[in-house]
Amino acid sequence: MTGPLTGEQRKPFPVAQTPTEEAAGRFSPDGTWVAYQSDESGRFEIYARPFPGPGPVVRVSTGGGNRTFWRRDGKELYYIHDDQLMAVSIKESASSLDVGLPALLFKAEPRGTFVPQTDGQRFLYLLPQGEVSVPPITVILNWAGQEK
């Protein structure tokens, strides 16, 4: 967000507002597109729309998807489909986004978190290591009123 600290340029506004659920939005590296997951087709798919708009919404995934990430140069978009990390080539023009066909990169633990390297040739992939048990919390009420 640019502009003075006050005024219309700093006012939040919805990017996608439909009767369906949209989540996990990510801006393209140049800030002109936002990719997000939406269940408008009946299952979560990946979509992209120009930012701040207006313009056409482009469907990126073909068989479901969630948790999207852009390659730093904006030429690829990654997302998780079931237990697979998918990649889609991206070509931006003045007012449109041309997307390629999704390609499987590798099997991926759906609960993991990934970050693509700048050129998309390697990924940092964090995997959860088993279940984490949280110890119970003990709350003591009226502790200041108790005598020793």
pLDDT tens for residues 36-73?
A: 999 888 889 999 888 877 778 888 998 888 888 888 88
- Report the distance separating Cα 44 and Cα 117, nearest Å: 25
- Low-confidence stretches of the chain (pLDDT < 70) are 1-10, 94, 110, 132, 145-148
**Does the reported pTM lie above 0.85?**
no
Q: What is the pLDDT of residue 63?
A: 87
Distances (CA, A) of 76 to 72, 84, 98: 8, 16, 11
Q: What pLDDT score does 56 carry?
A: 83
Question: In angstroms, rounded to a whole number, what is the distance separating the alpha carbons of residues 64 and 79?
Answer: 10
pLDDT score for 69 = 87
DSSP letter assigned to residue 41: T
Can you tell me which residue has the tokens 């003045």?
Answer: 94
**Residue 106, token pair as written in the block:** 């590798």
Please report, for the chain, the start and end positions of each structural domain, with discontinuous segments joined by +: 8-145
What pLDDT is recorded for position 45? 92
